[in-house]
Amino acid sequence: MRLPQHHALLWILSLNRALCSVPRQVTWSDKQFGPDGPWQAVTVSMGSNYTELVVPSSEVALYPGGSWESRILLSSICDNKTLSSVCYGDIAGLFDSDISVTLDNTSIETAPDGNWGDLSWGYTDAVPVYARATRAIDWMTIDGSAVPEVDLITIAGGWQTYPGGQAYPLEVGILSLGSPDINQTFGAVIKINATFITSYFYDQSGSLEIPSYSYGMHIGSAPLGIPGSLLLGGYDQNRVMGDVSAQAFSSGSFPIELFDLGIGVAEGGSPWNYSNKSGLLAQGNSSLASGLRVIVDPANPYLYLPQSACDALAAELPVTYQPDYGLYFWNTSDPQFDAIVTSPSYLAFRFGKNNLNNEYITIKAPFALLNLTLQAPLVETPTQYFPCMATNSTPALGRAFLQAAFVGVNWFGGKWFLAQAPGPDGSFIVDTVTIGDNDSTISGSTNSWEDTWQNTWKVLATRSTNSTTSNTSTPQPTTSSTPTKTNNVLSPVVKIGIIIGSTVGGVLIISLLSALCIRRRRQRRDTAIRDQNQISETQMHQGPGSLTHQLVPVEAPDSIWDQRNELHSQERYEMGAERGPFFELEPGKGGGREAVFELPGRMSGVSLNVI
Ligand SMILES: *[C@@H]1O[C@H](CO)[C@@H](O)[C@H](O)[C@H]1NC(C)=O
Ligand SMILES: *[C@@H]1O[C@H](CO)[C@@H](O)[C@H](O)[C@H]1NC(C)=O
Ligand SMILES: *[C@@H]1O[C@H](CO)[C@@H](O)[C@H](O)[C@H]1NC(C)=O
Ligand SMILES: *[C@@H]1O[C@H](CO)[C@@H](O)[C@H](O)[C@H]1NC(C)=O
Ligand SMILES: *[C@@H]1O[C@H](CO)[C@@H](O)[C@H](O)[C@H]1NC(C)=O
Ligand SMILES: *[C@@H]1O[C@H](CO)[C@@H](O)[C@H](O)[C@H]1NC(C)=O
Ligand SMILES: *[C@@H]1O[C@H](CO)[C@@H](O)[C@H](O)[C@H]1NC(C)=O
Ligand SMILES: *[C@@H]1O[C@H](CO)[C@@H](O)[C@H](O)[C@H]1NC(C)=O
Ligand SMILES: *[C@@H]1O[C@H](CO)[C@@H](O)[C@H](O)[C@H]1NC(C)=O
Ligand SMILES: *[C@@H]1O[C@H](CO)[C@@H](O)[C@H](O)[C@H]1NC(C)=O
Ligand SMILES: *[C@@H]1O[C@H](CO)[C@@H](O)[C@H](O)[C@H]1NC(C)=O
Ligand SMILES: *[C@@H]1O[C@H](CO)[C@@H](O)[C@H](O)[C@H]1NC(C)=O
């Protein structure tokens, strides 16, 4: 809040931020989105309706965490009333591209080019999307900071088809948070650069200048009151509980080896006649005992696993399979349902840690988070479902999983990060930690995960049978439930700013802060720098307040990033193996030289008739 008495202080802090390189917090929409959540999303403004000042033309909510192109639904998506008389896309907002004066949907000649075709949506195709889509670039404004030439696929019409064959409208688009490259470059002769909000904020001087081309995210849960967290250039350490696994990404995707699925109870009695059960991944197919490579995919909602694994999980739960949806409905009248989703019961995902196959990290997703709701238009009345969907193609863990997990990436550090995220009773005071330029690891908090659920779950009485709970998983009473904040003081830079700001004039402050920040930027360390500035965090929520730089993109001088991009922007033709058909390059096209464009694997796998 911009309280008057804090005005001077906030002004100094905003200057400090404008000049220094700190992670930026992204504001989440206060609405919830479906039709299979409820999920949380972030709000951005698309396009512009006035060239000089670039006034955003449409506000839309997007599910964050995609890579390469953002997927933006256009107003025309609701024109076809055959599919649905209700415009579900209106809930999140649609982009009225006719108003935007900066939209360019003709310069990039790579498919999708405005014709109908299969459109990839994240990294799995268990619910295929068919759409009339076009590559485009346009401005995107996020928390008041505008980014030009954002890499987009605009969708003028389309639907998703569930396993039973029924088509449903698309409701919410996807916000890309980068790729291994600064830009996606199209065209053989004239190169068109399409950029990403994260790379732009990092790379372009005069923009927000986040400390690294990275982000840290926990999508949280609306019904359980876990707010979403998304920081660009850093992460909130309170969202990273304990061990972190860091592993290589592949093109824009986040693969990891899943070694097992299990069921456990953190504390007290069990709703089952056992206290824990492992081996569920391979129970119905022993060849999965050696592990299954899955992709963690914020762009998709469910847990996409082999049929045998979904069946093994379902056999332990009061659910019934629904072939129309390929999902399982909870039997809410079975007393075991309440016991499972209100008790400390969880689904355990055991992964190989740090790309190793002899070290493990287990993410626990409490069943409370897996009591999700299908809504219209998928079903007539809201229906509780368990989000396992069988797939023969790429196995993936979508938002259902990410409610319980922290995900982050440092695109130039070469690694993506996975860790346990807190429950509803965690600390949602943002403890900002910077991700350094080339960092390939991040560190978590030592707070107890069990404590972050303690007030929410109802511990069952221990039965006098064999189903006693294990002592090993009970919360350690030594861990305080209030997060330990040892470094919670203002940084010297800010302290100096405050002292001086209360005595002398603005010019001196600016030059002093500039000097400090320049030195700080030069000193960029490999290790994470804690940003202890809690006050500025609160204000960041209101918007980045970078008075001078907002909406004024500055042409970047030649920088080291241009050189670095050279390394990345060599011709790459990464054809997705699982999805097709893919672009095929016609030799000789483009004046003897093959068209140069970067094809981001499955993400851009849009079927196209070879020209
Ligand atoms: C331009 O955008 C502003 C702010 O979103 C809106 O109020 C205005 O109506 C728009 N103008 C036109 C011509 O669409
Ligand atoms: C409208 O949607 C229906 C059903 O999804 C589809 O068959 C039809 O081709 C669409 N019409 C147009 C003009 O897009
Ligand atoms: C490009 O955008 C304009 C304005 O929204 C639209 O009328 C046109 O159909 C689009 N072209 C393609 C190929 O999508
Ligand atoms: C795209 O970026 C490259 C540098 O990476 C530059 O050479 C080229 O001119 C840019 N293209 C446009 C259209 O700005
Ligand atoms: C546990 O419950 C299952 C059915 O839910 C039953 O088949 C099994 O025999 C039980 N095991 C024991 C040890 O009671
Ligand atoms: C799982 O249950 C067995 C007994 O059924 C027990 O010995 C073991 O400690 C439990 N493991 C965990 C992690 O709770
Ligand atoms: C068992 O898993 C393997 C490896 O994923 C797969 O190739 C095979 O088709 C599966 N078998 C059955 C019967 O589903
Ligand atoms: C749901 O559970 C109730 C109570 O256990 C049972 O009577 C009913 O048959 C179950 N319904 C289905 C569809 O399994
Ligand atoms: C399951 O989720 C629904 C919707 O969020 C909620 O109303 C209901 O209370 C939940 N059920 C239990 C047993 O927690
Ligand atoms: C990050 O790596 C690049 C390329 O290896 C190097 O030029 C740069 O100095 C590194 N940055 C830091 C802060 O170490
Ligand atoms: C646990 O169950 C087994 C058989 O299922 C029985 O032999 C054993 O005595 C039981 N132990 C306890 C502590 O109840
Ligand atoms: C990325 O694209 C932007 C916009 O065209 C351009 O200004 C910038 O130089 C490009 N950066 C790189 C590293 O190619």
Q: For 572-611, how does the pLDDT look when each residue is reduced to its tens digit (9 = 90+)? A: 323 222 322 222 222 322 222 223 333 333 333 333 332 2
Asked if the structure places residue 513 within a domain, the reply is no
Residues 56 and 166 reside in one and the same domain: yes
Nearest listed ligand to the Cα of residue 75: 3
Whether residue 583 sits in one domain with residue 434: no
* Substitution site in 107, 190, 193 for ligand 4 pocket (most atoms within 8 Å of beta carbon): 193
Is the beta carbon of 193 within 6 A of some atom in ligand 8?
no
143 and 267 part of one domain: yes
The protein residue whose alpha carbon is closest to atom 8 in ligand 11 is 466
Q: Is 153 in the pocket of ligand 9 (CB under 6 A)?
A: no
Which numbered ligand comes closest to the C-alpha of 212? 10
Residue 51's pLDDT is what? 66
Residue 464 belongs to a domain: no
Among 431, 453, 475, the domain-final residue is 453
Q: Is 55 in the pocket of ligand 1 (CB under 6 A)?
A: yes
Ligand 11 site-directed mutation target among 466, 467, 468, most atoms within 8 Å of CB: 466
Q: Does 213 share its domain with 97?
A: yes
Q: Which atom of ligand 1 is nearest to the CA of 49?
A: 1
Q: Which protein residues are within 6 Å of ligand 10, measured from CB? A: 437-438, 524, 526, 560
pLDDT of amino acid 526: 30
> What is the structure's pLDDT at 188?
84
Domain C-terminal end among 403, 427, 453: 453
By mean pLDDT, which of 6-10, 214-218, 312-316, 443-447 is the weakest? 6-10
Q: Is residue 49 part of a domain?
A: yes
Is residue 168 in contact with ligand 2, taking CB distance under 6 Å? Answer: no
pLDDT reported for residue 464 = 57
Please tell me if the CB atom of residue 159 comes closer than 6 angstroms to any atom of ligand 2. yes
Q: Are residues 128 and 274 in the same domain?
A: yes
Q: What is the pLDDT of residue 499?
A: 38
Residues 447, 565: one domain? no
The answer to whether the beta carbons of residues 453 and 424 sit under 8 Å apart is yes
CB of residue 393 inside a 6 A radius of ligand 7: no
Is residue 524 in some structural domain? no
In which band, very low, low, confident or very high, does the pLDDT at 49 lie, cut at 50, 70 and 90?
confident
Residue 609: inside a domain: no
| Statement to judge: residues 186 and 330 lie in one domain | yes
Average pLDDT, integer, range 261-280: 97
Of the listed ligands, the closest to the CA of 56 is 1
Report how far ligand 9's centroid is from the alpha carbon of 180 (Å): 39
Among 149-158, 181-190, 236-245, 358-367, where is mean pLDDT lowest? 181-190
Ligand 7 centroid from CA 28, angstroms: 40
Average pLDDT across the chain, whole number: 80
**Residue partners of 570: CB distance under 8 A and separation at least 6:** none
Q: What average pLDDT does this structure show over 398-415?
A: 98
Least confident window among 330-339, 505-514, 594-603: 594-603
Centroid of ligand 6 to alpha carbon of 273 (angstroms)? 12
Residues 273 and 154 both lie in one domain:
yes
- Cβ 68 vs Cβ 35: under 8 Å: no
Taking the CA of residue 525 as reference, the ligand 10 atom at the shortest distance is 13
Q: Which has the minimum average pLDDT: 28-32, 289-293, 541-545, 598-602?
A: 541-545
Residue 582, domain extent: 550-601
Residue 5 belongs to some domain of the structure = no
Which residues make beta-bridge pairs with 247?
A: 416
- Shared domain for 557 and 445, answered yes or no, is no
Residue 99 CB less than 6 A away from ligand 1: yes
- Asked, for residue 213, whether it belongs to a domain, the answer is yes
| Atom 4 (ligand 9) nearest CA | 373
Kindly identify the ligand whose nearest atom is closest to the C-alpha of 562. 12
80 Cβ inside 6 Å of ligand 4:
no
Tell me the β-bridge partners of 129.
119, 160
Which residue did the predictor score with more confidence, 87 or 580? 87
**CB of 236 within 8 A of CB of 419?**
no
Structural contact between residues 115 and 132, judged by C-beta atoms closer than 8 angstroms = yes
Closest ligand relative to 85 C-alpha: 2
Phi, psi of 307 (to 5 degrees): -50, -40
Residue 526 tokens, joined: 């490999």
| CATH value at residue 146 | 2.40.70.10
In 3D, which of 223, 244, 226, 224 has the Cα closest to residue 235? 244
Quick one: 572 and 447 in the same domain? Answer: no
Q: How far is the CA of 330 from the centre of ligand 8 (A)?
A: 10
Task: Give 391's contacts (C-beta < 8 A, 6+ positions apart).
Answer: 124, 126, 304, 305, 306
Q: Whose CA is nearest to atom 12 of ligand 2?
A: 80
Query: Which ligand 8 atom sits closest to the C-alpha of 337?
Result: 2
**Domains of the chain: total:** 2
Residues enclosing ligand 11, CB less than 6 A?
465-466
CA dist list (Å): 266 to 367, 420, 522: 12, 14, 46
Q: 599 has which bridge partners? A: 573
Residue-level pLDDT at 19: 54
535 found inside a domain = no
Report the C-alpha gap between 517 and 497 in whole angstroms.
12
Q: Is the pLDDT of residue 119 over 80?
A: yes
pLDDT at 530 (0 to 100): 34
Q: What is the mean pLDDT of residues 207-212?
A: 94
The last residue of one of the domains, among 453, 484, 514, is 453
Q: Whose CA is nearest to atom 4 of ligand 10?
A: 564
pLDDT of 214: 98
Q: How many helices (H) and strands (E) does the chain have?
A: 9, 32
- Report the pLDDT value the prediction gives residue 229, as an integer from 0 to 100: 98
Q: Which residue has the higher pLDDT, 581 or 217?
A: 217
Tell me the ligand closest to 290's alpha carbon. 7
482 or 450: which leads in pLDDT:
450
- Residue 98 beta carbon below 6 angstroms from any ligand 3 atom: yes
